[in-house]
Structure 1
Amino acid sequence: MARFKYNGRDKKGKKSGVINASSKREAVLQLKEKGIRVLEINEVPETFLTKELSIGNPVKLQDFVIYLRQFSTLIRAGVPIVEATAILSQQTESKTLKKVLLMVEQDLRDGNPLSAAAAKHKKVFSSMFVNMIKAGEAGGNMDETLEKLAVHFEKQHYTKQKIVSALAYPIVVALVAIGVVIFLLVKVVPTFVDMFKDFGGELPAITQFVLHASSFMQTFWWLVVLLIVAIFVTIMMLRNNKNTKYYLDYFMLRMPIFGKMLQKAALARMTRTLSSLFASSVPILQALSIVENIVENEVIARVIEKSRRSLEQGKSLTDPMKKHWAFPPLVTQMIVIGEQSGSLDAMLSKVADFYEKEVESATDRLKALIEPLMIVFLAGLVGTIVTAIIVPMFDIFNHVQ
């Protein structure tokens, strides 16, 4: 949604101000409805202070899936694209998607194709979406294209939710553990400090460690908070740089337990996207270029880039994949079979189905394994602090006796 500064005139005289609208034409119409005759209107340049900040895609994948399903249904029912877009802009619960669809609707009414209108909003509509829509416009099968997109993003959403659910439990337990430890060190442990001082004896090493940790937390708690924020900001900055993101993704894929699951999820996303693009008749080199940018894993993306360059040079698509540890033989073998049989989209779809099921099974096993481990971890942390307090108290009790 753009901002426009205007000068105009109403019944009371001159009037000026700023209005939000999807286009200059819509801004003029809104002002006209308010009884203002526009004399001059200009778009306000976007600055850091006025820009809407967002991390990642500003539209939730779930909202985007619902939009695609409804869009596909409306087009299949014979509703024109412009009217369907207008209807969906009113129905969607996502404020960002609503604003974007209003702007897309205006572009459509100005005579632009949907692919061109969507291409202006790269944060919401990926290059895959734009290219598949462009192919659908050229082939005259927009309803089928939207159906494929809906199925694609539904599967992607399901796989993503499975991974999030598997990782959410250990993260929540870790945060709870940190909170409990901080509470014990700041509120509980200090109440025993005077008692231990009066005892006068030499405290066990574990007790001394806990007391020092408690003293540090009370004095430098702000430093701990600052360190956590600094770590978070650093990771976000590193992920925005392709070179450092490569090493972060490499580390994630090599992690014990989690690495294999993340690798399978990345391969499922890659093969599902390629399959959808090939099924929509997007040229193979263009499809590979698109996947490089949306696969969300720099390790996989670089291998795909090498495969694309290999293909451009007239060599095999799968040679770079065969040489890389992140691509199991199943992937390369199925691609070779698909190339030879002329059914590459179908073979890639089967690979995607396989890895999506593998991710589902892996996340279920992971949750079953992590739950007892995290309970033991939490019990160990709390137990250490409790033990550090109880052991000297036994010594005090024996001394009194």
Structure 2
Amino acid sequence: MSSAAATATPNAKPETPAAPKKGGMSKEISFGKKAGPKPFTKKELVTMFRGLSSMLRAQINTADALKYFGQGLPNKVMADALVQIREDINAGISVHESFRRTGRFSEMVIGLIQAGADAGKMDEAFKSLASRFTSELYFSKAIKKATTMPAVVITILGGAFIVSQVKIVPQVEDMLKSVNQEPDGLTAISFAVSHTTQNIWWIVVLAIIGIIIAIWRSNKLRNTILGLAMSKWRLLRQLIMSLRQMTFLSTIKLLHANGINLAKSIRVSANSVKGTPFYKELRDAADKYENSGVPLSTAFAKYTSVDTQVVHMLSIGEKSASLDNQLEMLSQMYEEDAETYMATFTAVVNFIVLIIAVLLIAAVFIGTFLPIFLMGPKMMQGGIGG
């Protein structure tokens, strides 16, 4: 989940084009954006934050914890970034600002580190970040598992179908012609399908590749297609909405529970769902809540598309002064819902893939062997008559 700076802390320094110290500049190619340091993967962040948290609980100060964790670290880029952070801390720069200066951490990470430092609970802040990224990794792996294998299976079987229609079926057709037999019935239909496939298969393949590249490169097109699919497939909508709401609600909970004011917590959490409709909605809700004085539940009800139960529980949290508890409950509820929907989605996708696989295998069999079975007697007669 991509993130970008949503707000700046008072002591944040403006970014300059100067090269970073030791971490190097890993360039990213993106339209309309400057090349910048590449963020660390969630798996790397989980390992790092767990290690730092354990050392802080053992009464090791932050600078030394960064030093010990970075020593002998296989990831040289991360090791260099930790050296840079440690040097900045020793130079009197705040912990959260030192992390920000690397350009490799999201505002959610920086905000929680700032909250942990202000509250004197850096170990809890790092532990919370490790738990947050662990949850994201779990669902990322589940989504990949549910979609990657089906895509591979369909691609392989689709390739087998094309090969059979382009290479094998024409050989069967030539065999019939060699004994002066004309195809009829299903055999004629099979050969007609083969002729059509030979003429258009490369156009279809190029079109599919072009669509995949366009979807991959265009966030707007990706959201349009996903929105259309969600409007037609209720299960997909439930899954995606659960994942999105779980993501930003758990982020708000982490930040607000650790001392970040609610408006900033909402703005920072919006970065965790950047690229989705929730991003602008959450920022608008935060602005209205902060500047117009409307209750949080009202801001969410009017300016976002969250579920009604989110608005209801936020209203209860405001009235009973238990907002942190309600955010915790909502985060857990949507995480459980996401797990349930993910299991159902995986089962449905696997069933669909099974049906498609059976159809493609049947198409290969029918196109390749059925003409031989049906025309076998005529081929033998033609051979004898010849």
Kindly provide the amino acid, as one letter, of the partner of residue 281 in structure 1: G
| Partners of 1:354 and 1:215 in 2: CA distance | 53
Report whether the alignment pairs 1:341 with 2:325. Answer: no
Structure 1: tracts of 5 or more residues without a match: 1-20, 28-42
| Partners of 2:28 and 2:281 in 1: CA distance | 37
Question: Scaled by the length of structure 2, what TM-score is found?
Answer: 0.79
Kept after mapping to 2: 8 A contact 1:71/1:88: yes
Match for 1:114 among 95, 103, 111?
95
Instruction: Kindly report which structure 2 residues correspond to 1:2-401, keeping only aligned pairs within 5 A, or say none.
Output: 23=21, 58-90=39-71, 92-122=73-103, 124-198=104-178, 199-201=181-183, 203-217=187-201, 220=202, 226-239=206-219, 244=221, 246-251=223-228, 253-254=230-231, 256=233, 257-311=235-289, 312-319=291-298, 321-322=300-301, 326-399=305-378, 400-401=380-381
Kept after mapping to 2: 8 A contact 1:115/1:130: yes
| Partners of 1:120 and 1:262 in 2: CA distance | 33
Aligned equivalent of 1:6: none
* CA shift digits 1:335-364 (9 cap, x unpaired): 111112222122111111111111112222
Structure 2: tracts of 5 or more residues without a match: 1-18, 382-386
Classify 1:231/1:373 alpha carbon distance in 2 versus 1 (closer, same or farther; 3 Å).
closer
How far is the alpha carbon of 1:111 from its aligned partner? 2.7
Kept after mapping to 2: 8 A contact 1:249/1:297: no
| Partners of 1:61 and 1:302 in 2: CA distance | 24
How far is the alpha carbon of 1:381 from its aligned partner? 1.3
Aligned equivalent of 2:10: none
How far is the alpha carbon of 1:215 from its aligned partner? 4.9
Kindly provide the amino acid, as one letter, of the partner of residue 144 in structure 1: E
Q: Which moved more, 1:64-73 or 1:166-175?
A: 166-175
| Partners of 1:308 and 1:197 in 2: CA distance | 74
Give me the identity figure in percent: 21
Kindly provide the amino acid, as one letter, of the partner of residue 319 in structure 2: Q
Q: Which moved more, 1:359-368 or 1:66-75?
A: 359-368
How far is the alpha carbon of 1:328 from its aligned partner? 1.9
How far is the alpha carbon of 1:74 from its aligned partner? 0.7
Classify 1:151/1:335 alpha carbon distance in 2 versus 1 (closer, same or farther; 3 Å).
same
| Partners of 2:308 and 2:226 in 1: CA distance | 21
Alignment length (residue pairs): 352
Classify 1:351/1:260 alpha carbon distance in 2 versus 1 (closer, same or farther; 3 Å).
same
| Partners of 2:118 and 2:213 in 1: CA distance | 44
* CA shift digits 1:163-193 (9 cap, x unpaired): 3333333223223333333443444334324
How far is the alpha carbon of 1:128 from its aligned partner? 0.8
How much is the aligned-residue C-alpha RMSD, in angstroms?
A: 3.3
| Partners of 2:364 and 2:245 in 1: CA distance | 44
Question: Scaled by the length of structure 1, what TM-score is found?
Answer: 0.77
- Richer in strand (by share): 1
| Partners of 1:381 and 1:55 in 2: CA distance | 45
* CA shift digits 1:18-37 (9 cap, x unpaired): xxx963xx79xxxxxxxxxx
* CA shift digits 1:131-179 (9 cap, x unpaired): 1111222222212222222222222222333333333332232233333
Classify 1:391/1:79 alpha carbon distance in 2 versus 1 (closer, same or farther; 3 Å).
same
* CA shift digits 1:252-286 (9 cap, x unpaired): 54351322211111111011001001101111111
